[in-house]
Amino acid sequence: MAQTTLISREQIDGRVAEMAREIEAEFAGTELIALCVLKGAMFFCADLVRNMTMDVALDFIQISSYGNQKYSSGVVTILKEPQLDMRGKSVLIVEDIIDSGLSIREVHNYIESRGAAKVKTAAFLDKPKARKVPFTPEYVGFSIDPQFVIGYGLDFAEKYRNIPEVQVLSD
């Protein structure tokens, strides 16, 4: 397996701080819940909310993942449900990466079904060319080509999440 840097630590820090300001401009004055999609988005979500100065509640959802494969099965199950009451609130889904769009579409529909007044998505990475279902996140850190990436929370078979930058994993 070869690992090459795609997005540096400095680029991540700069862009995540910018995203926090964009999000605050939209949500100022609302009751906001940042919903971190475990496990991949944990570092992104932590950095994002730490760059925000408005009040923001934190919640977590976990859905079934790729397992040990590089490609999505397309079947999404909720492994951990959010705890907070979302009725009438603004919810920002904080996702690590959007690929086929299948996972985020399910999470989005599920959060709407819990009565959130406004549901938006912040994705650290987006692979728009890999979509199997249409989905456009409101906030995107970086758009990348379809390739398998690791680091900054993203894993391959639970490895590499703690690499502080984004790398491309190729065989």
Q: Which of 65, 90, 121, 167 binds ligand 5GP (CB under 6 A)?
A: 65
Give the 3-state secondary structure of the chain: CEEEEEECHHHHHHHHHHHHHHHHHHHCCCCEEEEEEECCCHHHHHHHHHCCCCCCEEEEEEECCCCCCCCCCCCCCEEECCCCCCCCCEEEEEEEEECCCHHHHHHHHHHHHCCCCEEEEEEEEECHHHCCCCCCCCEEEEECCCCCEEECCECECCECCCCCCEEEEEC
The partner in contact with residue 72, picked from ligand 5GP, Mg ion, none with C-beta cut-offs of 5 to 8 angstroms by kind, is: ligand 5GP
Q: Which of 97, 123, 121, 101 is nearest to 111 (CA)?
A: 121
Nearer to Mg ion (CB atom), residue 21 or residue 80: 80
Binding of residue 142 to ligand 5GP (CB under 6 A): no
* Size, binding site for ligand 5GP by CB under 6 A: 20
Q: Which of 20, 23, 33, 40 binds Mg ion (CB under 5 A)?
A: 40
The partner in contact with residue 167, picked from ligand 5GP, Mg ion, none with C-beta cut-offs of 5 to 8 angstroms by kind, is: none
Nearer to ligand 5GP (CB atom), residue 65 or residue 90: 65
The partner in contact with residue 154, picked from Mg ion, ligand 5GP, none with C-beta cut-offs of 5 to 8 angstroms by kind, is: ligand 5GP
Taking CB under 5 A as the binding criterion, the range among 79-87, 91-99, 112-120, 150-158 that sits at the site for Mg ion is 91-99
Nearer to ligand 5GP (CB atom), residue 2 or residue 25: 2
Catalytic residue among 47, 55, 85, 99: 99
Just list the catalytic residues: 99
